[in-house]
Each structure stands twice: as C-alpha cells, then as structure tokens.
Amino acid sequence: MSSQRVRSVFAVCLLAAGCGRFRSAGRYRVTIDLGPSIRALGSEDLFESGPAEDRIVAIGPAALPALEAALDDESPAVRVGVVEVLSYLAVPERVPLLMKAVTDPAEAVRAQALEVLGGLTGDPRARPLVEAALEDPSPTIRVAAARTCARLCTSPPAVARLVDIAIRDEPFSNALWARASLAAMMKRPDTSSEARAAIERVAIPRLQDGGSLEERARAALLVADIGSPAGSEVLAAAARESTSTQVRLHALYALGTVGDARAVPTLAEILRGPQNELVPYAYDALTRMAARGVAEAKPTLGAYRGPRPSQPLPPPL
C-alpha cells in the first residue's frame, strides 16, 4: 500500500471518529468559543451587546467558568456586562461570582454586583460584603449597598449605619434609599424590631441636637416612618424653610401622616402662597390630617380656593 493511500485511510479513520462512527462518551460534545460574545458585552451599541447577552444566557450555567475568567481578564465595561448576564442566570452557582464582583476595583462593577445580589438573589452568603459596603467611601457604592440591605442586612451595626446614611449621607437620594430600606426592614420579621429600635435610638435624639435643619428634617422623616409625631415641629420647620424642594415635599407628606394642630399654620401659609409643586402636597397633608381627626385642618381646607388634587397623592420621589 502506498504512503499516500495509508494517509488517506488514516484521514478517513479520523473523520469517522469525529463524526461518531466509533462510539465514544463525547461523540455529541460541542465546544463554543464565548470570547467574542463576552467581549461584545462591553459595547455601547445595544445591537451588539444585547444579542451577545442573549447568546450567553441561552447557554446557561455552562457559561459560568468563562464568565468567571472574564471577571479577571476583561475591561470594566465587559465586567459590568458579565454581572448583568449573571443576573439572568438563576442558579446558586452565580453567587460566588457576584461576590467576587463586589470586590472588583471598578466602582461600576461593584455597584452592579451589589444591586444584583440584593434585588435578585437575597443570598445570605453575600451579607457580610453588603454590610461592609455601607462604609465604602464612594456614595455610589453606599447607595447600592443601602438598597441591597432591604433584603439582606440583619446586624445591629448595619441597621444603625443605615439610619446614619438616611440622616447624613449625600446626595439626598442616598438618604431616601436608606430610608426606604429601613421601611422595608420594618416589615421583615427578622429585622423589624431592630430597625425600629435603631431609629428610636439614633434619630429621635437628632431632632433636638442643634444640627442643621436638613439633617434634623431627615431624622424627623425616619421618626414619622415609625408612626411617631415627635418630629412634627421639625417637619413643619423643614416644610417652611428648607432650601431643598425635595426635603420640603417629603416633610409635607410626612405631616399628613403624623402632623397635629401645630402644623396647620405652616400648611395654611403654603396654600396662601404662589402656586407651585408644594401646594398640592400641603392640601393633601391637610386632607389626611382631617381624616385622622385633626379638627383644625378642616377650616383651612374649606377656605382654600385654588386647584385641588383630584385624588390622594403618592409619596414624593
């Protein structure tokens, strides 16, 4: 047999093996190079990153080793995309990868990982990392951790830190997210009593501590969230004098929940003033106070001749 024929027979044997003529355990195995799809996750073009994400998610848990490697090797934009993909892979094995991403050097990756851990997994394995992130110097990371705490945080120091963020953190949106998480924790059986106790322990003393009106107003908002009228005078002062429209709106809404007769003159003053976004909330607060039996609210409502909300207002954003 010629050498050419020997090579031809050998080639046929290899082809037959590759096509399954010779039975083997891996005859249906397919290897996929995910590199192009993973790198496309970092594209700003949604027509490129979107299909890439879909391709990887369709592979399922088998893609996890490649995604873990990408967290080590790829650019921050790609790593953010990897975390986004992990949010769609609803398997417990994704949690260690997300925990790894929480310690990423890139702020955007850490923030995205925290959001996924809290919003989609609620896995207690991530709790220490989330609670530690409440102390991060970056406000972006602190607010991501504060939002995640609604489902994950349990330790008294973490709850106390949330109260502190709700009172002192900037921007104000960070404080609102911390407050929202505390409100959610008060509905959780495992954290309800601790969240209320932390507000009583930290926020109530801040009402009269000589701090800025803004911080005292934020403390009063927390106190209102536990149903206490102790911060009503601070809320009325904030509704009149705060330099932040957001703070004034939140103060007005809280007065509708816990305000008493002492708040009526402030609300009446706002109703007599120029028409702006404060007026509907002042009217709504008086309406809810009247429904709670605050008799002094009714004459003020009756005297108002301006536009009135057609339905109860939602909490301000």
Q: Note the pLDDT tens digit of each residue in 49-80.
A: 999 999 999 999 999 999 999 999 999 999 99
Tell me the average pLDDT across 30-57: 94
pLDDT of residue 172 exceeding 90, the answer is yes
Residue 1 within a domain: no
Question: Residue 209 has what pLDDT?
Answer: 83
- Reported as a pLDDT band with limits 50, 70 and 90, residue 120 is low
Question: Residue 42 has what pLDDT?
Answer: 96
Residue 316 within a domain: yes
What's the structural domain count of the chain?
1
Residue 111 within a domain: no
Question: Residue 16 has what pLDDT?
Answer: 42
Q: Identify which has the larger pLDDT, 254 or 1.
A: 254
Structural domain harbouring 274:
215-317
Residue 143 within a domain: no
User: Residue 68 corresponds to which tokens in the numbers above?
Assistant: 């873990």
Residue 309 within a domain: yes
Residue 305 within a domain: yes
Residue 208 within a domain: no
Question: Residue 9 has what pLDDT?
Answer: 37
Residue 163 within a domain: no
Tens-digit pLDDT profile for residues 71-112: 999 999 999 999 999 999 988 899 999 999 999 999 999 999
